[in-house]
């Protein structure tokens, strides 16, 4: 489970000896032959590259010390200056992408973040000599990502196997709430990581640490002085200026966080977002207290977040501009009389009328009227349109804001709009909450896309507040039934029925419509089940989204038999057996996260030739983890020349802690071994 330390300054017990020391690192562009000749990471021989160091710092600066009464822009006050210097060794060409960097910059109104002093070099060793290629800053790309975010894209030159990348940059920010967080851990090993934060005595930040790798810190202080000049301009018959000077002394509290030999974060399957478990430190602005002023609290509540969103032009105000829905309301009211009918009709109408453009957003980017007319929009535009339509139908409906899986866990302890990136629709039917997302045409109420299943969301309303659990209400269910006959040439022929419900059906329907070609869909099924050749295929319940999706097939299955003289052996689950364990690490320092319960049931019925007899069958077995968090059932039987095998595998819990990793890994290994046990036949 994610370690969340609120009081970071109590991270180490008093008197504990630091495991590492703050290190001096070379200046930009100063490289050693040892760094160039290194052919292996000192702490991970399998790593394709590693960070020699990654150093950052944040300082508060008071750049505009002359304040004029007639120039509001002259009184910006404190600003944040973030500096970073990093150096990466590329050991394998597969790590070349680590020469590409992105710097997100936020801007709102007249406040902004600016990147500057971007400098970099790529070093290579050629004929025993170090070559140095300078970053051409003219090649840097500034890409607008949203109305408030611009991304600076940097591609280092001449990056290849053996290169050393050396990069330095600064970011000046007007947003004091956005004190830069710092990642000690990355996808590559880091030999040394350091982050120095100098905070004036007027600011109070709450640090939070995440992850499992330990880092240390040292605290010091430094005296600072600001010399301020105030110019008061008086208008009258004669324009006058009065000049005042003031010197302010204060203390910076300097905390240097550092870590050595940080292992790479090795991601496996069933992990919602790496950022949830990477070792990092983040800061929340709790308040300020300036000279001759009282304490100003900046901690907000979810109610305050809701109020801000409801006033936002691209959220709450967008909901109010719903006159374009008149025709849609009339068409629904003409056929729907009950509340349930209205909800489903509105949901289906938005799904069918507006196509999702693939953009994950919290805010609208175009007026909802234009989105409706154009027939496409981002996730917020679709789901806010659904809320607006339900309201027009006199159905109580609310937006629910959340953080998607890729965006990380929503920190409910310190509410902030900046942590949100998505919105869905909510209503109620027979005292049951209905959560809806119109971006997925194959979903239905309470079957949300997997990206949304990420803890709790928040209701945004002027009358109703609170958390909403956003969890799977259905499982990922697969049922495979076969009736096959073993032929003399070692192939199997017969029928296969693939029955999928819940999230399995949602995924398969999405796959079907993406292919937009029944032949391509059939070919995809053959890829999913290696060795399967489909000679005829039909699908049932494709349009009935709430019913199981059924694929009926005539098949030929090849390359599953081992011939040994007069003996023949095969796994009775054939192409449907589990072959690969998704868990391969010796140790996993973060949880296993399943978005929904899973169940896979396979019933194989195989008719063997009359001239063979059964020599042996796999033994039946039942096994389960404690509390039946995972269950494996495997049974075999034979009646005459018909062999029947049933495999039933269940995952009943959504999260397994690191301490349970070995048990989960072993359960999958047990399942795989059982699936690969052989039926042995002997020729009579």
Q: Which of 605, 597, 596, 676 is nearest to 638 (CA)?
A: 605
Number of Cβ within a 10 Å radius of residue 382: 29
Asked if residue 565 and residue 654 are part of one domain, the reply reads yes
What pLDDT is attached to residue 157? 97
Asked if residue 662 and residue 642 are part of one domain, the reply reads yes
Write out the two tokens for 208.
């939070």
Q: What is the pLDDT of residues 203-262, one digit of tens each?
A: 999 999 999 899 999 999 999 998 888 787 766 556 667 787 888 899 999 999 999 999
Domain boundary among 255, 281, 297: 297
Asked if residue 526 and residue 632 are part of one domain, the reply reads yes
CA distance 395 to 466: 19
Domain boundary among 175, 195, 224: 175
* CATH code for position 580: 2.60.120.1130
Asked if residue 447 and residue 481 are part of one domain, the reply reads no
Residue 657, domain member (yes or no): yes
Asked if residue 433 and residue 408 are part of one domain, the reply reads yes
Residue 408, domain member (yes or no): yes
Asked if residue 273 and residue 375 are part of one domain, the reply reads no
Write out the two tokens for 490.
């070692």
Asked if residue 306 and residue 387 are part of one domain, the reply reads yes
Asked if residue 346 and residue 232 are part of one domain, the reply reads no
Write out the two tokens for 401.
């804001």
Q: Are 413 and 301 contacting, i.e. CB atoms less than 8 angstroms apart?
A: no
* CATH code for position 135: 2.60.40.3140
What pLDDT is attached to residue 396? 95
| pTM, two decimal places | 0.85
What pLDDT is attached to residue 15? 33
Largest pairwise CA distance in the chain: 121
Concatenating the DSSP letter of every residue in 72-126 gives: GGG----EEEEEEEEEEEE-SGGGGGGGEEEEEEEEETTEEEEEEEEEEEEEEEE
What pLDDT is attached to residue 298? 85
Residue 389, domain member (yes or no): yes
Tell me the three state secondary structure of residue 19: coil
Residue 229, domain member (yes or no): yes
Q: What is the pLDDT of residues 161-198, one digit of tens each?
A: 999 999 999 999 999 988 999 999 999 999 999 999 99
Residue 364, domain member (yes or no): yes
What pLDDT is attached to residue 17? 36
**How many structural domains are present in the chain?**
4
Q: Which of 440, 398, 405 is nearest to 422 (CA)?
A: 405
Asked if residue 525 and residue 617 are part of one domain, the reply reads yes
Residue 60, domain member (yes or no): no
Asked if residue 276 and residue 318 are part of one domain, the reply reads no
Asked if residue 437 and residue 311 are part of one domain, the reply reads yes
Residues of the chain where predicted confidence (pLDDT) is lower than 50:
1-19
Beta strands at 455-459 and 398-402: parallel, antiparallel or unpaired: antiparallel
Domain boundary among 149, 175, 201: 175
Asked if residue 432 and residue 394 are part of one domain, the reply reads yes
Domain containing 648 equals: 476-683
Residue 52, domain member (yes or no): no
Residue 56, domain member (yes or no): no
* CATH code for position 465: 3.10.620.30
């Amino acid at each position: 489970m994610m370690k969340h330390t609120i009081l970071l300054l109590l991270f180490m017990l008093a008197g504990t000896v630091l495991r590492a020391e703050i290190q001096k690192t070379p200046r930009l562009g100063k490289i050693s032959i040892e760094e160039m000749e290194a052919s292996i990471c000192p702490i991970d021989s399998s790593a394709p590259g590693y960070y020699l160091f990654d150093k950052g710092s944040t300082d508060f600066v008071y750049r505009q010390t002359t304040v004029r009464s007639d120039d509001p822009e002259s009184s910006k006050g404190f600003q944040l200056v973030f500096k970073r210097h990093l150096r990466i060794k590329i050991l394998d060409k597969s790590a070349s992408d680590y020469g590409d960097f992105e710097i997100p910059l936020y801007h709102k109104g007249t406040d902004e973040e600016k990147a500057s002093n971007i400098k970099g070099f790529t070093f290579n060793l050629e004929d025993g000599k170090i070559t140095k290629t300078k970053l051409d800053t003219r090649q840097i790309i500034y890409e607008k990502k949203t109305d408030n975010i611009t991304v600076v894209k940097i591609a280092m030159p001449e990056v290849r196997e053996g290169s050393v990348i050396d990069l330095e940059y600064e970011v000046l920010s007007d947003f004091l709430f956005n004190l830069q967080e710092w990642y000690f851990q990355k996808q590559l090993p880091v030999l040394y990581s350091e982050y120095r934060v100098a905070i004036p005595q007027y600011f109070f930040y709450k640090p939070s640490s995440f992850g499992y790798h330990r880092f240390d810190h040292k605290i010091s202080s430094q005296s600072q002085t600001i010399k301020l000049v105030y110019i008061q301009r008086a208008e009258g018959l004669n324009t006058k200026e009065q000049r005042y000077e003031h010197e302010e002394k204060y203390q910076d509290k300097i905390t240097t966080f550092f870590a050595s030999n940080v292992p790479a974060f090795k991601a496996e399957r069933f992990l919602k977002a790496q950022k949830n478990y990477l070792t990092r430190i983040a800061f929340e602005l709790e308040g300020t207290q300036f000279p001759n002023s009282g304490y100003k609290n900046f901690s907000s509540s979810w109610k305050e977040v809701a109020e801000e969103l409801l006033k936002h032009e691209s959220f709450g105000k967008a909901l109010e501009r719903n006159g374009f829905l008149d025709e849609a309301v009339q068409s629904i009211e003409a056929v729907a009389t009950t509340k349930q009918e209205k909800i489903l009709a509105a949901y289906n109408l938005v799904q069918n009328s507006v196509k999702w453009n693939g953009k994950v957003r919290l805010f609208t980017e175009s007026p909802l009227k234009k989105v409706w007319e154009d027939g496409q929009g981002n996730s917020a535009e679709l789901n806010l349109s659904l809320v607006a339509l339900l309201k027009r139908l006199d159905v109580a409906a609310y937006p629910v804001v959340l953080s998607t899986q890729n965006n990380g866990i929503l920190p409910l302890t310190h509410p902030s709009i900046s942590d949100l990136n998505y919105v869905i629709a909510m209503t109620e039917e027979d005292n049951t909450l209905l959560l809806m997302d119109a971006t997925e045409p194959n979903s239905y109420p309470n079957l949300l896309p997997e990206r949304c299943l990420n803890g709790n969301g928040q209701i945004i309303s002027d009358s109703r507040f609170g958390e909403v659990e956003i969890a799977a209400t259905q499982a990922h269910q697969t049922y495979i039934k076969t009736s096959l006959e073993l032929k003399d040439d070692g192939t199997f022929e017969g029928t296969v029925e693939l029955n999928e419900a819940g999230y399995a059906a949602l995924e398969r329907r999405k796959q079907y419509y993406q292919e937009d070609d029944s032949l391509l869909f059939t070919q995809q099924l053959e890829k999913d089940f290696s060795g399967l050749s489909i000679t005829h295929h039909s699908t049932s319940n494709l349009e009935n989204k709430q019913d199981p999706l059924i694929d009926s097939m005539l098949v030929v299955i090849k390359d599953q038999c081992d011939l040994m003289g007069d003996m023949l052996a095969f796994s009775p689950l054939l192409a449907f057996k589990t072959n690969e364990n998704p868990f391969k690490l010796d140790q996993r320092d973060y949880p296993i996260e399943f978005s929904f319960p899973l169940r896979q049931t396979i019933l194989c019925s195989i008719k063997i030739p009359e001239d063979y007899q059964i020599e042996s069958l796999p033994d039946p077995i039942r096994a389960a983890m404690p509390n039946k968090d995972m269950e494996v059932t495997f049974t075999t039987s034979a009646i005459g020349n018909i062999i029947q095998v049933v495999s039933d595998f269940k995952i009943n819990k959504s999260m397994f802690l690191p301490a349970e990793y070995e048990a989960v890994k072993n359960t999958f290994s047990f399942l795989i071994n059982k699936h690969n046990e052989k039926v042995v036949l002997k020729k009579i």
